[in-house]
Amino acid sequence: MNGQPLVYLDNAATSQKPQVVIDAIAAFYQKDNANIYRGTYELSQRTTDLYEGAREQVAKFIGADRSEIVLTAGATASLNLAAFGYGLPVLRPGDEIAVTAADHHSNLVSWQEAAKMTGAKLVYLPLDLGGKVDVERVKKEQIIGKKTKILAIAQVTNVLGTNQPIAELINLVHQAGGVAVIDGAQAAGHLPVDVKKLDADFYAFSGHKMLSQTGIGVLYGKKKLLEATRPLFFGGEMIEEVGLTSATYKKAPYKFEAGSQNVSGAISLGSAIDYLTEIGLDKIAAREAELGKAAAAGLRAIPGVRVYGQGGGIVSFNLAGIHPHDLATALDTQGIAVRAGQHCAQPMMNFLQVPGTVRASFAFYNNEEDVSALITGVKEAKEFFHGLR
């Protein structure tokens, strides 16, 4: 990039893909491509088996049953399905939806709209300076209480990488009689996830952030809740019987998968899951945290750099007096790819009282040389900008 070797540090936006995943996609199109559920012929049956096999792999990956796995277009589609398929029918005026300022727009805005349409209200949970929910205050002030119908929160936030105390929060919302929708977009593929242990009611994530192709994602939902969730898309293959004025629908998860599905996406997700599982999610979590910590320490040692937070492989920072976009552009001239701006989390920028941040996000396949490149890059950028003064 710009004549330099690429140092890819935007893994929280999307991951790079291992060769096995790319090969799995190619092999599917070379040998197994047909449409699914059209199974009067062998090839279509084989394609269907591959697609359903991927659903099974996803289920195993997060400790769920295959009937609880809806394959979607990504975390955004999954969160919209939770908000409009589940939320709309159950929310009433005055009901509360607990969210945080640290959440991604795809979570926040979906629930904002569901609230507007139903007369429900968003309630923001208090955060400490590190962007973590202050559970003690939530308990003391009973912020999650009788009116809370839904808790909708990221397990790991995308700006600071904060690991939220979701087990405690899920417990609180259950005591209040509500349900927990967990945005796992920055968690799945980065740490072990067991939806049953967490007792999450819904759990959303994207394939492309965990080594698979784009356009595939997951909404896990407890069986009973998926049954209560309305489909958002209607069409082929999600129906049971179609009359002239109405139709009946298949059981979950099939009622949510209208039309031709993203088969190669599902296969690539299954392949990515195999790859991640073989390495081990504990090992991945430890390695990403190690790289993130090393980067945060190196950045903090540069006078003028402020690190807002680091969790796992994610580090958000700024250089005094330099706009984050300018710093990211300077890093790009050195081949270093980072994200700068609001990170689809405007309320979080207001919370941090900054127009934006620079975010470096490490994956397990990054290494210490990448950490050094970032630190040297920021130092060089600082000298360059100071030279302009």
Stretch that binds ligand PMP, among 74-82, 126-134, 142-150, 226-234 (CB under 6 A): 74-82
Single out the residue of 9, 51, 57, 74 in contact with ligand PMP (rule: CB under 6 A): 74
How far lies 320's CA from each of 64, 75, 106, 315, in Å? 46, 34, 30, 16
Exactly one of 71, 289, 295, 344 is catalytic; name it. 344
Stretch that binds ligand PMP, among 2-10, 71-79, 115-123, 228-236 (CB under 6 A): 71-79
DSSP at 208: G
Q: Would you call the peptide bond into 253 cis, given omega within 30 degrees of 0 as the criterion?
A: yes
Residue 104 as a binder of ligand PMP (CB under 6 A): the answer is yes
Answer yes or no: 81 catalytic. Answer: no
# residues near ligand PMP by CB under 6 A: 14
φ, ψ at 152 (rounded to 5°): -130, 105
User: Which residues fall within 8 angstroms of residue 18, CB to CB, at 6 or more apart?
Assistant: 211, 272, 275
Residue 185 as a binder of ligand PMP (CB under 6 A): the answer is yes
Residue 320, burial from CB neighbour count under 10 angstroms (0-12, 13-18, 19+): exposed
Which of residues 107 and 318 has its CB atom nearest to ligand PMP in the complex? Answer: 107
CB of 187 to ligand PMP, least distance (A): 8
Dist. CA 371–CA 313, nearest whole Å = 11
Residue 344 as a binder of ligand PMP (CB under 6 A): the answer is yes
Residue 183 as a binder of ligand PMP (CB under 6 A): the answer is yes
Contact between 170 and 317 (Cβ < 8 Å): no
How far lies 192's CA from each of 23, 132, 184, 273, 354, in Å? 25, 20, 11, 12, 32
CB of 79 to ligand PMP, least distance (A): 7
Dist. CA 101–CA 107, nearest whole Å = 11
* Nearest-10 Cα torsion for 179, 185, 189, 194: 0
Token pair 């980072």 is found at: 338
Residue 161 as a binder of ligand PMP (CB under 6 A): the answer is no
Which of residues 208 and 382 has its CB atom nearest to ligand PMP in the complex? Answer: 208
CB of 273 to ligand PMP, least distance (A): 16
Residue 158 as a binder of ligand PMP (CB under 6 A): the answer is yes
Single out the residue of 21, 64, 75, 169 in contact with ligand PMP (rule: CB under 6 A): 75
Tell me the two tokens of residue 123. Answer: 């309630």
Within residues 204-243, the interface with ligand PMP by CB under 6 A covers: 206, 208
Which of residues 104 and 222 has its CB atom nearest to ligand PMP in the complex? Answer: 104
Which residues belong to the active site? 344
- Residues at the site binding ligand PMP, with contacts judged by CB under 6 A: 74-76, 104, 106-107, 154, 158, 183, 185-186, 206, 208, 344
